Structure 1
């Protein structure tokens, strides 16, 4: 016969059939014993290990009440399987019985007395909680079911972690941050302790590096068919150690390979650089590498020529972005030297405008009251000019043009004119420049005629395939520059312009120094440049096979790719049919799709009849033309190996950069990166102030970034200054 206590433990409207209940096993503190059959006869009911059989699934187990509870309530982490026969309705009722028992026999919380104040009790996990005044209030069923109090407490702890560590708010968008807490919430891991200092910097770092290497295998598996470009760039860290950064770019994206510490190397000459390149080439695979890209430094060029001597299939290519930046520097910051006299005479006015803009910026930034007035009238900051790269002069002048109206309102305001506690002569000079329409006309002219150069720089300053576009873009760029200059000067096309001749000579000189046979080969394999539509877009255009320079450089490539005479004859015949629409290339679809399809798709669809040429085309048409990703990766390196973490040894810093950079690459390939709460998580900013981590992957073509300007911080690293296009309201 059951006792009143046992019967009261079973709800009157119980959904669990009586056949699953053994009233004799009931213990008030441990009510779930009622739902199992105890097989051990010599052990008292209510404690210790027993042999028992589940009344729902009939499975036999050995264990104490905690295992009974874990089995019936489906609690993970107790090393016992969950009962498959307990459905959702049964589970709700069993949990209710267990909670009521826990509540009934839970010790009440008695706060310690206080001499000066009344202590507010700490809320517990029971159904009774306290409001802000310390009074008890009943927890509703929904609040109890969803653990609202525990959720709120966890949220506060996470927020406290952000505030105490100075973490940027955009870190909350990190998918790995979100997935870690989601995983913890989905798995009852009682007693779990997060990894500590030593584990994070040693064993876990190595395990994550191995995990990243496995995740990169799908990208690396395509290297043999798609080809790889190895890019390198040098840098000096916060401890003045010289480092060389190597990355491998393929259709799958840029992969960080390694950063070599050269502090122990005495002679960092061409042979040293060539040796490092050879090690990177062997790591990637000799047959997979199409080209190596560096800047135009003499030691890099010499090392590249050594690589070309040792490997017939690998070319050295100078960075197009670096070349364009040097061209802009020659135009916008002409030096007054004997050899450069003609250029200086024609271009010194640009330098003067640049210097005037710098003068305005320095005056405002160096006087706190003027800066305060500036901040009232102008919602955007003045950019720091850099002497390094990314068309810094043009970027600065673009910013001035953007805030022109606000600047003019500022200098005619009462606040500006009544302030007398600084250099009045300089203030008047600044006001004169800002109100001078001729000065602004010069800025407009500089921005306009350099815009074609700037646009090509933007296009090439990416990891996307542009090698096959460079030759045509450079020609088109020069034509556009001429049109803008001649229109401004009011000249006819057959008239002479001394200013244009100087600009033209600078651009041609830079192209002559940076063009390679590989540019011409890739240009020749682009089907679009043979289509009637492209040929008719501009006068005097000819197909690549009809251009003497391109044909000569292309044949140089073919001789290196195919040293065997018979193979070279075969590929020459294939190119002849491709360029003259012969054989299968004469079909209507093949000719029409030269204009409609992208080059890679066209060769995949129609190139099977020319296997040797198709093999080269599918590799060359997906290669980049700049080493920008390698240079941007130093921002990541300086973010990780910062002044606060300058004791990191190069090996550990390299591992951190490897994991950080490649995880971001893998994240950007997922669909979640493009939408949802984690979309573009690595380029979001807080209060319009991006840090090095946020911009280390950015280039001039980013949708949210107009420019990224790097400046020397005096410690071998790089500082950064950016501005957001999305927040720039046109004011003029």
Structure 2
């Protein structure tokens, strides 16, 4: 215990030095229940450009932008047609992974693909509530189509597959899987759904990163991959225009065909209904619009205005007119001005908006590789004194509380059922050392998550 406390104190000094290098930081929290049933709240120090640092945890008796995307995926996965395709992909994945010889042969074929210089990913099962893992399951099945076809349909593997015809139950499962792999409608539906989800997954990864700023939330929902204005309604969401060339909506969309245990047991396979692209597009637009209303906050609009790389002509609705008042209101709440300072701050706002509009695309391109925090840090105190102070606060905000959520797996790894007699104090010190040592060493691999939930780690080996 003495040694652990000494190591913790040494790392704490280094953590404080890292925090001191930033004028403003954010503190994000998230609650969980440990092995002994105690309610714990984790506090993580986060700010763009700083690795996520664990600060402390509280044992009690008693939202973030990235999480909105998880809720968005949850909404969409409940759509029957998508649920049916996911069920098929999970069934296929589970059958391959549950048979060791079959899985070893699959991995060998995947390794042959890598040896030829191409990428190949292992099949992964989705983890409940980790919605991005469902996309990983669908994507990896789609990317493994050629390998699966070779393994199940190629005559060269007829002798190998004969071992799975020994019992009636295995024969029915094999017939079922062969029918599924031969079904072009299943693969077309799978391809469509994966491409529909790609922009959401890309946005989720971007917003959960340690270097994401608030302005990125507004940009990605309104001017980027998730844009849903009138033009996007015609062309699709993100990459949907490419999908339309592959999948033609010719059949009415149904509820989809869920793969239940009964159909698998008797070896029957029911061909799924081809999902209509326009119906899926409408579903995605509806759900994105619903979640956009949740993240459409004053802070997001203010960050979008103050980021020199963002186009303020992309403001939606009345945001362009309202953002001036939102900036003044936020500055008052932060104690930067009083009611008498509104006029001076408004003058700075209008001057900065004129600068951005006059600069146009050339100005945005100039700062496209720069961080908004770096831009405002380099500004003179005399040019925009009030805006600079506000920008330092706005761009210290994190777009996600994922850092706090990721601490769950680390606490779970440390405070396991085999170590359930450890005190809360000792668990906190171990977590402090574990998390912050990795941050100080710039170690990007979440070892606790890898050890606790290996299915959640997307590796290519």
Q: Please give the range of the TM-score, normalised by the shorter of the 2 chains.
A: 0.7 to 0.9
Answering whether residue 197 of structure 2 is matched by residue 440 of structure 1, we say no
Structure 1 residues 256 and 376, CA gap change in structure 2 (3 angstroms)? closer
- Structure 1 counterpart of 2:132: 391
Change (3 A) 1:556 1:506: farther
Q: Which residue number corresponds to residue 213 of structure 1?
A: 12
The structure 1 residue matched to 2:373, chosen from 600, 623, 646, is 600
2:447 counterpart residue number: 694
Tell me the secondary structure at the aligned position of residue 255 of structure 1: strand
Query: In structure 1, which of residues 350, 355, 377 is the aligned counterpart of residue 82 of structure 2?
Result: 350
Contact 1:253–1:463 (CA under 8 A) maintained in structure 2: yes
Measured in 1, the distance between the counterparts of 2:435 and 2:202 equals 27
- Separation in structure 2 between the aligned mates of residue 543 and residue 357 of structure 1, nearest angstrom: 38
Write out per-residue CA displacement over residues 29-51 of structure 1, whole angstroms, 9 at most, x where no aligned residue.
xxxxxxxxxxxxxxxxxxxxxxx
Contact 1:466 1:625 in 2 (8 A): yes
Q: Where does residue 279 of structure 1 map in the other structure?
A: none
Check 1:526–1:616 CA distance in 2 against 1; reply closer, same or farther (3 A cut): same
Distance 1:486 1:513, change over 3 A: same
Aligned-residue CA RMSD in angstroms? 3.3
Given the alignment, which residue of 226, 250, 257 partners 1:478?
226
Matches within 5 A, 1:451-490: 451-475=198-222, 476-479=224-227, 481-482=236-237, 484-485=239-240, 488-489=243-244
Q: Residue by residue, what CA displacement relative to the aligned partner does 1:562-614 show, whole Å, maximum 9, x if unpaired?
A: 561112222111111111129xx99xx98884556432232233353111110
Instruction: Please say if residues 25 and 46 of structure 2, whose CA atoms lie closer than 8 Å, have aligned partners that are also in contact.
Output: yes
Q: Which of 241, 255, 273 is 2:38 aligned to?
A: 241
CA contact (8 A) 1:350 1:446 kept: yes
Q: Which residue in 2 is equivalent to 1:720? A: 454
Give the 5 Å matches for 1:646-657. Answer: 646-657=420-431
Does structure 2 conserve the Cα–Cα contact (< 8 Å) formed by 1:465 and 1:622?
no
Question: Deviations 1:657-715 (Å, cap 9, x if unpaired)?
Answer: 112222222222xxxxxxxxxxx5x73xxxxxxxxx6255xxxxxxxxxxx7x9xxxxx
Q: Is the 8 A contact 1:530 1:544 kept in 2?
A: no
Are 1:512 and 2:317 counterparts?
A: no
Partner of 1:474, secondary structure, is helix
For the residues of structure 2 that align with 1:638 and 1:425, how far apart are their CA atoms? 40
Higher relative contact order (CA 8 A, sep 6+): 2
User: Cα 1:636–1:590, aligned 2, differ >3 Å: closer, same or farther?
Assistant: same
5+ long unaligned stretches in structure 2: 112-120, 249-276
> Alignment partner of 2:55: what SS?
strand
The structure with more radius of gyration: 1
> Which residue is 1:527 aligned to?
308
For 1:646 and 1:440, locate their aligned partners in 2 and report how far apart those are by CA, in whole Å. 46
- For residues 279 and 323 of structure 2, the distance between their equivalents in structure 1, rounded to whole angstroms, comes to 29
For 1:130-279, list aligned pairs within 5 A.
202-223=1-22, 225=23, 227-250=24-47, 251-262=49-60, 265=61, 268=62
Cα 1:566/1:357, change in 2 over 3 Å: same
Is the contact between residue 590 and residue 606 of structure 1 (CA under 8 Å) also seen in structure 2? no
Q: Is the 8 A contact 2:50 2:210 kept in 1?
A: no
- 2:349 paired residue number: 575
1:486/1:497 contact within 8 Å kept = no
Shift in CA distance, 467/425, structure 1 to aligned 2, threshold 3 Å:
same
| 1:332 Cα offset (Å) | 2.1
Decide which of 413, 428, 437 is 1:639's aligned counterpart: 413
- Which has the larger share of helix? 2
Q: 2:123 aligned to 382, 404, 424, which one?
A: 382
Closer, same or farther: CA 382–581 of 1 in aligned 2, 3 Å: closer
- 1:721 alignment partner, SS class: helix
Instruction: Give the Cα separation in 1 of the matches to 2:152 and 2:279.
Output: 37
Supply the distance in 2 between the matched residues of 1:503 and 1:219 (Cα, whole angstroms): 41
Aligned counterpart, 1:344? none
Distance of aligned partners of 1:437 and 1:607 in 2 relative to their CA distance in 1, 3 Å threshold: farther
C-alpha distance in 1, partners of 2:365/2:66? 33
In structure 2, C-alpha distance between the alignment counterparts of 1:419 and 1:373, rounded to whole Å? 14
SS at match of 2:127: coil
- Scaled by the length of structure 1, the TM-score of the pair is 0.51
Distance 1:321 1:596 in 2: 22
Partner of 1:71: none
In the TM superposition, residue 630 of structure 1 has moved relative to its aligned partner by: 1.1
TM-superposed CA distance for 1:353, in Å, is 0.7
Mapped to 2, the partners of 1:597 and 1:248 lie a distance apart of 23
